[in-house]
Amino acid sequence: MSFEDLVMNEEFWQTLWKEGRIGFHEGTVNDFLARFYSRLNLVAGNHILVPLCGKSFDLDWLLAKGLIVTGVEFNQGAVEEVFARLNLTPEVDEIGPLRRYRSGALTLFAGDFYAVTSDLLGPVDAVYDRAAMVAIQPETRANYAAHVVELTGGAQQLLIGFDYDQNAADGPPFSLAQELIMQAYGAQYTIELLKSIKVGGPFADGVDADEQIWYLQPKG
């Protein structure tokens, strides 16, 4: 991904946060996560990565499961809001272009996801991708997937996406049909559809879309 691509993406998302156009933010734990979390077979003390996490309540829910939770988010305000909501006072340090917030089992990086390294993360047991891959421009999706694999050593994933005719609406969220997931992750993972439901709400007014959750199991 070029520097220009990174800047354009960051400017786009920072504008949405500044203007409060964050319809992607859910005010409670994601239903798919609550229903299919057990598929990961995680235990307390395992480490889960949440890319492009925003200020998601899924972070709180995962912490309550006893997990070590690491998230990455462009918007510093969203990161700080998570710690305030949890009544946590984080230790904050600067690591290159990243600002790292840490308290107990929760670490959030404010900044560019592509600046995060495997050395910063340490071993990762699972990835929870609810709003990350669907937010990535289709032409840069392969770079995103490769970075996730590199960061986590190909850890298992729960991946939530949308399947719809991309010609019917502009993303994000971008359509993420099975063949697109296979293109990005098929070499490393066995990919299984766990559930698909019709999308309601404003997004569905002009688009026939399905919301889907996938389990990505490392091959071998």
Domain ranges of the chain: 3-218
Nearest CA-CA partner of 176 in 158, 159, 162: 162
Q: Which CATH class is domain 3-218?
A: alpha beta
Q: Quickly state the pLDDT bin for 8 (edges 50, 70, 90).
A: very low
| 19 has a pLDDT exceeding 80 | no
Q: Encode pLDDT of 51-101 as tens digits.
A: 999 999 999 999 999 999 999 999 999 999 999 999 999 999 999 999 999
Distance CA 201, CA 211 (A): 12
The reported pLDDT for the residue numbered 16 is 44
What is the torsion angle, in degrees rounded to the nearest 10, for the CA atoms of residue 134, residue 136, residue 140 and residue 142? -40
pLDDT digits 0-9 by tens, 130-175: 989 999 989 999 999 999 999 999 999 999 999 999 988 888 889 9
What are the tens digits of pLDDT across the range 33-48?
A: 999 999 999 999 999 9
* C-alpha distances out from residue 40 to 126, 174, 218, Å: 7, 25, 12
Binding site residues for S-adenosyl-L-methionine, as ranges?
17, 52, 73, 130
Helix (H, G, I), strand (E, B) or coil at 135: helix
Q: Confidence class of residue 2 from pLDDT cuts 50, 70 and 90?
A: very low
Q: Report pLDDT for 220.
A: 80
pLDDT value, residue 169: 83
pLDDT in tens, 196-213: 999 877 666 678 999 999
In the 3-class helix/strand/coil scheme, how is 3-60 assigned residue by residue? Answer: HHHHHHHHHHHHHHHHHCCCCCCCCCCCHHHHHHHHHHCCCCCCEEEECCCCCCCHHH
Binding residues: 17, 52, 73, 130
